[in-house]
Structure 1
Amino acid sequence: MRLRQLLVAIGEPLVELRTPEADPIVRGVAILDPDDEPGGFEGELVLVIGVRGREAARFVRAAARRGAAAVAVKDAPVDLAGTAAEAGIALLAVAPGVRWDQLETLSRQVLDGAALTDGVQSESGDLFALAQTLAVLTGGSVSVEDAGNRVLAYSRSDDEVDELRRLSILGWKGPESYLALLREWGVFQRLRDGEEVVRIDERPELGIRRRLAVGIRAGNQHLGTVWVQQGREPFAERAESALLGGARLAALHLLRHRSGAGRSRQELVTGLLDGSTSADLVAGQLGIEPATPATVVAFAVRETEPDQPAHELHLAEMLTMVSVHLTSYRRGALVGGDGARVYAVLPGAGSLAGLVNEVTQVAGVLTRRTGVRVQAGIGSPVPSLRDVVRSRSEADRVLDAIGERRDVATIADLRAEVLLGETLNLLEANPELRDPAVDALSAHDAEHSSELVPTLLAYLDALGDVRAAATALHVHPNTVRHRVRRAAAVSGIDLGDPRERLACHLQLLLAVTTRAAPADVRG
């Protein structure tokens, strides 16, 4: 990180640069105590403790000889800047009331956060996608910055942008004059202190629009900031919640970049869901206790005229949006894709009603944002991550059976439909189990343009109530009676036998659903 970027992040009045022409790269922080034998300080900021003023001159030279990029001295006189310049090192004057441990901790925190994101700009496709998704969800213009206020990614914007955003993107870092104001207003301190969304009021006289910001954190370490500038329209209703979820995902992205090797988070989640990756391995990689209870939610888009490129785009948008929203609800949410579905593994026990409400809100947002209907199936809670395959299977079954009337459902909502669907799948996969007599009815209808199959199905659906079947078919009851007798004669099925009647009913349902079924949303 450049020294000036470090100073902007640390901020006045802690330190002051006394060699204004210097801007070396700083790679770390070291302590130089006059009582100790100095070691090597290659590229480091050296804090000279124990001496002040002109007494520090020889230690400034010693640090320079050992490769230091900059030195920090308390009560540094003006002429000490000349000594530092001659030695080829930058000089920072530290305010008398500043504690050395405070300065060291803050400097290390900024440098460590910047180190995590070093090189991310060249590999930040995921981060740009996240910024774009957050822009859609918040209704503003988004930028992601590291701990040194370097811009790592930003959203495309057709909206009005203020001078702060324009200069930040053009220079790939926040302009120092604006950052100084934000520091003076206490914004940076609040972003470093905890996980809260900070509101920055509009300042028309400074050309600054209203903003929301949240720190990107890993434990107690501050990695950077997500900023959202308001455009012509107010922020979206759930902008702050989306921003919080986005910051958590940004932290995972930056930490994954630091670790380099290994499978991505989404790959681990997909492996967990299909059983190809050990739950213990996933838990260890993602920092989750394997014995944690979990519930799986499956999301799918429903398109009447699927266009493959548009379908893929909707899936990509859905994956990021589900991640942002569910991470804002539940910090430990794991999200991955498999085929044409997006899955969320939600660790921890909780209220099923609360979960249904969360998922309903997410499905609604996805439908509004993508322009296509999104439905979700919720599996049953399982006692540990090792059992998520079972919850995923239930979520898939619910989604397969959900129909057109609901957007979100649980296994308890659709148990009968799921059981029927499983039975019909069994019949479809095993044609040898089917009765040729029922197939003969379909063949008769095709050959004679008759309506024996739909009439017999309506009759069985109505439990033999001729008038109810006639009403459903919009025909006279006598027509139903005639067709049912004709169906029995053509097929030879004994409708008086309960088991034969049940087998016939199931096979007719299979025939009708197979003929009318839309393209499989699972791809």
Structure 2
Amino acid sequence: MTLRQLLVAIGKPLVELCTPEADPRVCGVAILDPDDEPGSYQQDLVLVIGARGREAARFVRAAARRGAAVVAVKEAPAELAAVAREAGIALLGVAPRMRWDQVETVVRQVLDAAALSEGSDEEPGDLFVLAQTLAALTGGSVSIEDAGNRVLAYSRSDDEVDELRRLSILGWEGPRSYLALLREWGVFERLRSGEEVVRIDEHPELGIRRRLAVGIRAGAQHLGTIWVQEGREAFADRADSALLGGARLAAVHLLRHRSEAGRPRNELVAGLLDGKANPDLVAGQLGIDPAAACTVVGFAVREREPDQPVHELHRADMLSVVSVHMASYRKGALVGASGSRVYAVLPDEPGLASLVADVARVLERRTGVRVQAGIGSPVPTLHEVPGSRAEADRVLGAMGEANAVATISDLRAEVLLGETLSLLHGNPDLRDPAVASLVAHDEERGTELVPTLLAYLDAMGDVGAVAASLHVHPNTVRHRIRRAGQVSGIDFGDPRERLSCHLQLLLAVTTVTTYNAIRG
């Protein structure tokens, strides 16, 4: 990310740009200790510790010679900025009271967030950018804290800040005396009990300005808080609605960040499932046998109109529960997430379906929403895992509402039908205009040729069964079938034409579920 993007994220009171014309790209952060030999600092932000003011000049030049993009120094006078310009490097001045480990932590956090969001729609800086955006929308100074009142991000502000905000940022958590007052005033209880913007009055005797606060929530779970301190001007008119929207965005970030601890292992498992990682290397790093037979199980949460933070929470819960249960089942079980689904790679043994059903029930009790699991075919080695994963996905795609767990063997016909319909959907040139004419005839004249013909083809021509299912006389069925042949020109005596017509009628009514609904 560029230096200016980094400064938008961290800014005052942490650092100040002493060479305002500079805007290099920053790829990492490094420490230069005067007692050590300088290393290679290609496009790094170098923190010069142990040297202040003018005495840091030679270290600024040394960092520049070693490829650094930016150098940070405590007590950076104007003459040091001139040295940096001459050396062709940007210079940051660090607040004297800041600890170097705090500076390194926040810079690394922002750069890591930018790297993780590369190629996605997320902006560099992540929570810091969100804090800066909320500051602009609310007209105040914003800080974002986790559930333990630790500061995760804050907005850069040239406005007046009170002692509470200054101490919170310098200490990376709210002062204990003020936290005790918030508990006494019932603020925390309100923040944790619902989705509302809480107003905290000004307390001049404590050096505290007026504040707005909103809890960051996913469902009933409290994840943290967004605080906004009032500056010289009053809060913006739409500050409350901006905070509510910001809290929902922050919830998504915090839930994603929660799963980052297991990211390297999850990436290995995801690479194995996708076929992008070498199975032998994955097996070596995870300590498992690459030649062992295994099966892939896919888990999916079925939500209607899901709220994104709640969906992220359910996905995180699903990953946690599946990991624990599968680890107890077999030490070598692999669990990882890909997209909105969670997958387990397990030894193929008797009782696997029963175990998976137990896990699905636990997940449903924990999340309160329906969880379904699809089991692929067993494969002889880790090299064939992508094939078993593809089958697990096909099963999940073909499962209706009735079952919580199914195998590819249970739903092979449904899977084949679904993929055939997908092929027809993606290739309009394969469709028969004669079928379209039947659908159009029903729509224009209010007839029921399509549902009658579907029932007839399903029943393999058993007129009595069709009449009973549709609650009509057998002669009515015969009449409709003859009429369907006249309208479309399809020869129902030809088995290939019957099959083609059947498939395309199923596609015409969109899904097998809609088809079943038409049949009653």
TM-score, normalization by structure 1? 0.47
TM-score, normalization by structure 2? 0.47
